[in-house]
A and B are shown apart, each in its own frame.
Chain A
Amino acid sequence: MYALCDVSAMYASCEKVFDPSIRKKPVVVLTNNDGCICATCPVARKMGIGKSFVPYFTVKDELAAMGVVIRSSNYELYADLSQRLMDTCARFAPDHHVYSIDECFLYFGSYIPDAGWQAHAKTIRRTVWKEVRLPIGVGIGPTPTLAKAANHASKRIEGFNGVAVIDNNAVRRRVLKQMAVVDIWGIGRRLARRLNEMGIETAWQLAESKPALMRKHFSVLVESTVYELNGITKLSWDDVRSPKQQIYSTRSFGERVTDKSILRQALLSHVTIAASKLRRQQGLVKTIQVFVSNSPHDRDSFYRKSVTHQFLTPTSDTSVIANTVSGLVENLYRQGVHFYKCGVGLIELVDAAQYQADLFSLSTDNALLMQCMDSINARYGRNTVHIAGQGTTPQYTMKREFLSPQYTTRLEGLPRILCD
């Protein structure tokens, strides 16, 4: 069995974790440079504020009149909470795969929980809420595609309340019948339209179609999806690109790693994978996350570390990213730790076609200088050192006017607790 856990309105939910004064208020989060709305909390959604990428300035007055709380993207906070989310979910299964900043797959193999799947899913959800304070949906099914479908059901289909388990044909039928093909994992909008033209509207109809025919009309991927919807595992998670705005590459090691250079090699291979995916979708990365950990199941005390790094100029050059990650290894490695897992996440992306180069944009050729500067800045705060050409008004630091404190990663950001 597989499970998919994902956070509802991740960025907006993260903003609520350390600011109890906005827990019940409508909250929206803006993209980089405060351009568009990228996340809307359930309270705001109920008030009719859409989820789509609406430019902020077009709705600014309207939102102010409704008393909506506005926040800039606080990637440092989201990456830290994401890491905690992943660690917490990973405790519940033998194998674990980070799919994006706010969702992960769990693979149970032959493991069957004593209390049953429904109870196990509820425990995962309750534990994440208790320990991380993030609301998640949990879907469990016999294949990744069905786990994803169950997750969809947990949030969108009435009666599931955040937890759905597809472990028999009746539930599978019920869920797939209420699900449009476009909502199936790996079926994009364009593919869905073509399926609709063939008269296939629901996930159930796709499940009932002939795999060979789907292969003939479309691709092996669609054929695999049909098998998956019928409970036969065909896909590995790397086959299907995340539709979300992040790219993750992560693996656990076959054997525990204690050597720094091996850890570095592993991280650099993740860079290669992630960067090639990035170029494939014509993207540039602005923020990456690099993380390492030992196994929570080992006897040693648990060790994990994660750093985020912001590029001054978005890049898709493997060597530029690799240089940076290579420098970060010094911060991540610790002698004596038996590393079990590491990974790289490209967590903030921009479209290469739409990216407007800054007049003062740093040349990516000078990768070494950038790395040096960034590691100084990472340690002593952004803009501690910067090139003179940048001037005194920071031209290309992100505009984050509504930024919340970095509650978990900076001393200045620690939440205040009243004793009065």
Chain B
Amino acid sequence: MLRFIPLKVQAGIAGFESPAAEYTQLSLTLDQILIDHPSATYLGIVEGESMTGVGIFPHDILVVSRAETAVSGDVIVATLNGNFVCKIADTKNMRLLSSAKGFNTYQLNDGDEFIVEGVVTRSIRMHRPFKRGLV
């Protein structure tokens, strides 16, 4: 059984504005939480299941920052032969790793068109799909 200690909430001396009032305009937005570099951040929608091991599922939304520099182990978005792909960077061995069973590691070759587009800094898990049936 929980016990409650009744406390009267009072905002200072009557006639003065609550000291908390000045904070009311600092409303938190998802942009602040999800985006570190607004001018270099892009969104993308996931297709495929090779990254479920790091919690990235089909139709999730990736927050991709071009301001970051990819280091080994980062989840990145890259252009690979004409497609955007999401993989884990293994810069030492020049490989692109998947994070789910049954998906192969991709070894980069000289002939590949490859460029890192950005680092996935956040991802948004779509526990329910968009109501309007976007994807």
- B-contacting residues of A (Cβ < 8 Å)? 18, 20-21, 23-24, 83-84, 87-88, 130-133, 301-302, 304, 335-336, 407-408, 411-412, 414-420
Q: Does B89 contact A (CB under 8 A)?
A: no
| Inter-subunit contact A83/B32 (CB<8 Å) | no
Give Cα A87–Cα B26 distance, bound, in whole angstroms: 24
Q: Which chain A residues border B49 with CB–CB below 8 Å?
A: 419-420
Select the residue from B45, B56, B130 with max chain A CB neighbours within 10 A: B45
Interface digits, B104-120 against A, CB 8 Å rule (1 contact, 0 not)?
00000000010001000
Q: In the bound complex, how far is the Cα of B67 from the Cα of A131, in angstroms?
A: 5
Bound-state Cα–Cα, A141 to B62, Å: 41
Task: Check B86–A302 contact: CB distance below 8 A.
Answer: no
B51 partner residues in chain A, CB cutoff 8 A: 419
Contact B47 A418 (CB under 8 A): yes
Instruction: Give A387 Cβ to nearest chain B Cβ, in Å.
Output: 26
Q: Which chain B residues lie closer than 8 Å to A418 at the CB level? A: 47-48, 83-86
Contact A415 B84 (CB under 8 A): yes
5 A-B pairs with the lowest CB-CB distances in the bound complex, closest first: A419-B48, A131-B40, A87-B39, A420-B48, A20-B79
22 contacts between A and B (CB under 8 A): A18-B42, A20-B82, A23-B82, A87-B39, A130-B66, A131-B37, A133-B66, A133-B117, A301-B32, A408-B43, A411-B134, A414-B43, A415-B45, A415-B84, A416-B47, A417-B46, A417-B47, A418-B85, A419-B48, A419-B51, A420-B85, A420-B103
Is B61 interfacial (CB-CB < 8 Å)? yes
Closest to A130 in B: B66
A336 and B25 within 8 A (CB): yes
Chain B contributes a number of interface residues (CB within 8 A of A) equal to 37
Complex CA–CA separation, A301 to B37 (angstroms): 10
Main secondary structure of the interface of B (DSSP, over half): mixed
Q: Which residues of A contact B66 (CB under 8 A)?
A: 130-133
Interface pair A88/B40, CB less than 8 Å apart: yes
A335 touches B25 (CB 8 A): yes
Contact A21 B83 (CB under 8 A): yes
A51 smallest CB distance to B (angstroms): 26
Q: Which has the most chain A C-beta neighbours within 10 Å: B32, B39, B66, B77? A: B39
Whether the Cβ atoms of B39 and A417 lie closer than 8 Å is no
Contact among A83, A301, A408 with B42 in the assembled complex (CB-CB below 8 Å): A408
Residue from the list B26, B50, B62, B113 in contact with A420, Cβ < 8 A? B50
Q: Does B129 make an interface contact (CB < 8 A)?
A: no
Of B39, B44, B67, B117, the residue contacting A416 (CB under 8 A) is B44
Across the interface, which residues of B come within 8 angstroms of A131, CB to CB?
Answer: 37, 39-40, 66-67
With A20-B83, A131-B66 as given contacts, are A419 and B39 in contact (CB-CB < 8 Å)? no
Contact A23 to B79, CB < 8 A, known contacts A418-B86, A420-B50: yes
Please tell me if B73 contacts chain A, counting CB pairs below 8 Å.
no
> In the complex, A291 Cα to B20 Cα: how many Å?
32
Chain A: CB-nearest residue to B83: A418
- Distance of B73 from chain A, by nearest CB (Å): 17
Q: Which has the most chain B C-beta neighbours within 10 Å: A23, A302, A414, A418? A: A418
